[in-house]
Amino acid sequence: MKRKTLIAIAALIPLVLIAIALISLPEPDFEVVAKGDGFELRRYAPFNVAQVRVSADFDQASSRAFEPLVNYIQGGNSGGRNLPMMAPVNQQPLTEVSETDWLVQFVMPKEYPMSYLPAPADARVSLHRLPPRLMAAKRYRGGWGEDRYREREADLLAAIAASGRSVIGAPIFARYNAPFVPGLLRRNEVLVEVADPAPPASVAE
């Protein structure tokens, strides 16, 4: 009987993982204003992030930043408060040519103004408010390896160039799922800011 129970539980594990992968965490507010050949154009509202600067290669950057960021949202702050998790986790080089210095960001709950967010207990963590931005996005599924990401990054940059738009920031690797979610179920994106031809008060493309 015990063996049958264990077999039944083992059979349910893939279904549980699929269910978890399909649960969408809250994301920053954005409006899709256009769809180009190979990318989606989004106008993001301002949002807050907790971020850590790390020196590491592509694959190790998020691992090094994970502990202080998780500690921050799990009570490692001036108020000892737990903060809800949002998506995505962003990884961006500090400069467009950097391969060793990164910013890794956790998006903060959008219902919390900056004044409500507690100060980090760890000096490595800092809070920032990102301004409204026009971002090109390319979505893909699969693992988090650098080769897979670089291929999609190159595709996105080529598509933006072909559209006649100008890139004005370093590309961002955005991850929307937990590490235990199987690769084929993971939602990943390459995001990059592009020049916005619209007046600041306009949301129309």
- 52 plus 40 within the same structural domain: no
Q: Which domain holds residue 101?
A: 48-129
Rounded CA separation 29/199 (Å)? 19
SS3 61: helix
CATH of the domain at 86: 3.20.80.10
- 145 plus 197 within the same structural domain: yes
| Tens of pLDDT, residues 168-194 | 999 999 999 987 787 778 899 999 999
| Tens of pLDDT, residues 3-40 | 555 444 444 444 344 344 445 688 999 999 999 888 99
| Tens of pLDDT, residues 33-86 | 999 888 999 999 999 999 999 999 999 999 999 999 999 999 999 999 999 989
- Residue 142 reports pLDDT greater than 80: yes
The answer for residues whose C-beta is within 8 angstroms of residue 12's C-beta and 6 or more apart is none
Single out the residue in 129, 156, 189 at which a domain terminates: 129
pTM metric for this prediction: 0.82
Rounded CA separation 23/28 (Å)? 16
SS3 98: coil
Which residue stretches of the chain are H helix?
A: 2-22, 58-73, 146-163
81, two tokens: 């408060």
Give me the mean pLDDT over the 87-115 stretch: 90
- 2 plus 67 within the same structural domain: no
